[in-house]
């Protein structure tokens, strides 16, 4: 029994030299674990934003060439840079607005709407379908 614990301790502390059969078995065991572990065991990532619903995305104005939508800021991750914000808004509009699903469109302008305290509460996004 003592030998068994000694072997487990050496495997745990990775004390076998490269090229030994024990090292190869340990590497193979790690690969088997990584490649064969079910995905649902590791879905513990934090939620970045709320899922957008139709009430959180509203059409503000529309003309022949462009449309402007108001997107609630709570459905987006905290914007750090404009390209990430643009990508998040593009995905949110494509997922939420039925006539934009599966179709390409270009974001022309992003205007933040702020409350009295200066906090961004929504974005007005002008697009060209």
* Domain coordinates in residue numbering, the chain: 2-42, 54-128
What is this structure's pTM? 0.48
Q: Could you report the per-residue pLDDT of 55-108, keeping only the tens digit for each?
A: 578 888 888 888 888 888 777 655 555 677 788 888 888 888 888 888 888 888
Residue 123 CA to residue 108 CA, distance in Å, equals 13
Cβ atoms of 94 and 101 within 8 Å: the answer is yes
Q: Could you report the per-residue pLDDT of 16-37, keeping only the tens digit for each?
A: 889 998 889 889 999 999 899 8
């Amino acid at each position: 029994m003592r030998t068994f614990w000694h072997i487990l301790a050496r495997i745990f502390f990775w004390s076998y030299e490269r090229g030994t059969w024990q090292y190869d078995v340990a590497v193979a065991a790690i690969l088997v674990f990584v490649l064969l572990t079910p995905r649902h065991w590791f879905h513990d990532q934090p939620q970045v934003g709320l899922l957008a619903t139709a009430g959180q995305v509203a059409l503000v104005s529309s003309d022949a060439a462009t449309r402007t939508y108001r997107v609630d800021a709570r459905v987006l991750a905290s914007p750090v840079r404009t390209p990430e914000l643009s990508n998040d808004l593009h995905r949110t509009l494509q997922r939420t607005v039925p006539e934009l699903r599966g179709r390409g469109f270009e974001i022309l302008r992003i205007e933040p709407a702020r409350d009295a305290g200066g906090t961004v509460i929504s974005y007005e996004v002008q697009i060209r379908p």
